[in-house]
Chains A and B, each alone.
Chain A
Amino acid sequence: DGGITQSPKYLFRKEGQNVTLSCEQNLNHDAMYWYRQDPGQGLRLIYYSQIVNDFQKGDIAEGYSVSREKKESFPLTVTSAQKNPTAFYLCASASGLYGYTFGSGTRLTVV
């Protein structure tokens, strides 16, 4: 079945540590996105990519980095510069008029 796979489901980060969240899709979608969700908030865009080897900052990109070396993959790195990384992270891909598909998310906690 086609879809988006995010891993891990839960991730714990120590202070000053970089961590990478994985996002893989087999839908052949060109566009991919990373969103952050905090309690009581909607989703906010971190980074997005409309095509391989190209990506753009979203609304809250500080402290995050991404790469898009393959169409299927769009990993997100949460760097030590992100001072408040505890949140729920959702990856999505899109194609067509309303073809947004979301992964099941990664819950990141700072310990």
Chain B
Amino acid sequence: AQKITQTQPGMFVQEKEAVTLDCTYDTSDQSYGLFWYKQPSSGEMIFLIYQGSYDEQNATEGRYSLNFQKARKSANLVISASQLGDSAMYFCAMRDLMNYGGSQGNLIFGKGTKLSVKP
């Protein structure tokens, strides 16, 4: 079964420093997509970054980058130059097409990492 594991329940980082949030995944699919979302205390899920399994380059979006290591099945999120507004829950997710079908499948989520940025 598809599975996402986030082993860090909580992380602290000093403002302006970089931080890495860990994510490992398990899938038997050859083609898959990995997502990172940010969930502030208000509750909405904000899309940050996407990595396709066949993408040769690591994805980057502004201060967010994804350290994709396919052989290790890891997709760690790196946030550079942390800001106070980065304090939130962060979720790693994987699209599961095999078990849910259709053209969109379903997103399988990890349990999340709570990031706290210290001034």
Query: Using Cβ atoms and an 8 Å threshold, which residues of chain A touch B35?
Result: 98, 100
Q: Indicate whether A102 sits within 8 Å of B106 (C-beta atoms), given known contacts A40-B111, A50-B101.
A: no
Known interface pairs A42-B111, A42-B112, A98-B50. Does A107 touch B102 (Cβ–Cβ under 8 Å)? no
Complex interface residues of chain B between 97 and 119 (CB less than 8 A to chain A): 100-104, 106-107, 109-112
Question: What class of interface size applies to chain B in its complex with A?
Answer: 20 to 34
Q: B104 touching A104 by the CB < 8 A rule? A: no
Decide if A43 touches B107 in the complex (CB within 8 Å): yes
B47 contacts A by Cβ under 8 Å: yes
B residues 22-74 touching A (CB-CB < 8 Å): 33, 35, 37, 42-45, 47, 50, 52
In the complex, number of A-B residue pairs with CB atoms less than 8 Å apart: 66
Question: Is A31 within 8 A of B109, CB to CB?
Answer: no
State in angstroms the CA–CA spacing of A104 and B44 once bound together: 4
For the complex, give the distance between the alpha carbons of A31 and B42 in Å: 24
> Once the chains bind, are B107 and A100 in contact (CB under 8 Å)?
yes
B75 to chain A, nearest CB (A): 13
A85 located at the interface, meaning its Cβ lies under 8 Å from any Cβ of chain B in the complex: no
Report which of B9, B44, B103, B109 forms a contact with A43, defined as CB distance below 8 A: B109
Q: How far is the CA of A56 from the CA of B95 in the complex (A)?
A: 17
Closest chain B residue to A45 by CB distance?
Answer: B106
The residue in chain B whose Cβ has the minimal distance to the Cβ of A32 is B104
